[in-house]
Structure 1
Amino acid sequence: MTLHQAIEKLLRQTGRPMTTQQIADELNKNKWYQKKDGSTIQAFQIYGRIRNYADIFDRDGSTVFLIGQPTTKTKAPTAKKPTAIKHLVKVNSTYSKASFDPISNSDTAILILGTMPGDKSLELGEYYGHPRNRFWKIISTITNNELPLTYSDKKELLLKFKIGIWDIAHKANRKGSLDSAIEDEEPNDLDDFIARHKNLKVIGFNGTKSETLFDKYFDRKSGLKYVYLPSTSPANTGIDFDNICKLWRQIFTK
């Protein structure tokens, strides 16, 4: 049984929506799908798999439901806190993770590039989902807006100011969420993105690793402005909020 088949079977059997974490926990218990390296299934892997089967699954935040199932729009119950279990991890096991689709439209003039989503973002299915990541607070500040309360409103704020976001890595191995731990990355097709977004003027790199990976795989194109931006990651504690906002305002200067 493949992973997406196991997810579909579980949702049909329970008859209700489930979060990506709940699905991962249940599949780790029932063993309907087992990874080749023997490691446990993670919530981000559930998210990565369901987005490849849009004809079967839909998602609202971190909650997954089957298309056409009458009970799918009901709120998923709160998961019980799982009992801690120690797992033996093989030395050659990997921590394969995948990025999200870009947030952009035909009006996008500014593209902010990160490296790849951290574990909290993958769990939630949202860009910059860690509560201590300063990205959304910075964007609201430099656009003179209140901090949006919902992810949908956050995306609308970006598009209102012609800002798009994506990541350099399509997939990579990374234990944890630090950029320094990224290995064996495969890049997203940024050349195609740039070619399709005719109004693009500025590319901003959210942190040093983003810029390094971009230059590793892509050539800088004439006619575009490239801007290094201090990382919004919680790990970047070396710059205060006022100064990081001052530097991020460069994305609006010609």
Structure 2
Amino acid sequence: MRSKQSASCAEGTGGLPPVIGDCPAVLILGSSPSVISLQKGEYYGNPRNHFWQLMERIAGVPADGSYTERIAGLKERRIALWDVLATCERHASCDQSIRNPRANNIADVLDNNPSIACIALNGKVGATRWMRRLMPDVMERADIRIFFLPSSSPANARLSLEEKAVEWARIMDCIKEK
């Protein structure tokens, strides 16, 4: 039986800080860190989440490296990482149960990093829904391509890892173009 614990999208500090290296080309946005990610202080900390396996397949970032090595690998490949939501309330890590969301300042990150050519939204239910609802101005920017990608979450069992990788590989074109 599932526990009825409540989880905040942000505990104390407002979620996880953005990961942005020099001259990023792609900004990957999730909806909000999972309970496990918040506990570990790591993006995509749930070992069942496919994110790091996807990064290994499409960008060559070793999924079995330390978190510090994986983050460095993303930065080297010009991939930035953050979440759409700064804070929210939700049941466990379920995106469908998000209430009282408050957005991160994505527009500011884009303005301060003009090298970002693409936003990759991790999940159509989570990140895409909240971007459309809370930041329509960012969604309409002509200078940014937006990719709506299948969620890397273990809850998204509709697609296999290989099928997800095909969709996610599209972001690599943004890196090659810059």
TM-score by length of 2: 0.87
- The reply on whether 1:150 has 2:66 as its aligned counterpart is yes
| Correspondence for 1:252 among 158, 172, 177 | 172
8 A Cα contact 1:106 1:198, kept in partner: no
- The reply on whether 1:133 has 2:49 as its aligned counterpart is yes
| Correspondence for 1:217 among 102, 117, 134 | 134
| Correspondence for 1:167 among 83, 101, 106 | 83
| Amino acid corresponding to residue 46 of structure 2 in structure 1 | H
Counterpart of 2:94? 178
Root-mean-square deviation (CA), in Å? Answer: 2.0
Counterpart of 2:108? 192
| Correspondence for 1:241 among 137, 152, 161 | 161
The whole-number CA distance in structure 1 between the counterparts of 2:19 and 2:43 is 9
Give the length in aligned residue pairs: 166
The whole-number CA distance in structure 2 between the counterparts of 1:145 and 1:110 is 15
The whole-number CA distance in structure 2 between the counterparts of 1:196 and 1:104 is 11
TM-score by length of 1: 0.62
Counterpart of 2:27? 111
Q: For residue 126 of structure 1, give the secondary structure of its aligned residue in structure 2.
A: coil
The whole-number CA distance in structure 2 between the counterparts of 1:250 and 1:216 is 24
Gapped runs of 5+ residues in structure 2? none
The whole-number CA distance in structure 2 between the counterparts of 1:99 and 1:192 is 17
Instruction: Give the % identical residues.
Output: 27
Counterpart of 1:124? 40
Give a deviation string over 1:99-150, Cα, whole Å, max 9, x none.
2110002311100000000100011111100010000110011113432421
Moved over 3 A (4+): none
8 A Cα contact 1:106 1:199, kept in partner: no
| Amino acid corresponding to residue 227 of structure 1 in structure 2 | F
Gapped runs of 5+ residues in structure 1? 1-39, 52-97
The whole-number CA distance in structure 2 between the counterparts of 1:123 and 1:253 is 33
Q: For residue 148 of structure 2, give the secondary structure of its aligned residue in structure 1.
A: strand
Q: After TM superposition, give the deviation of residue 198 of structure 1 in Å.
A: 1.4
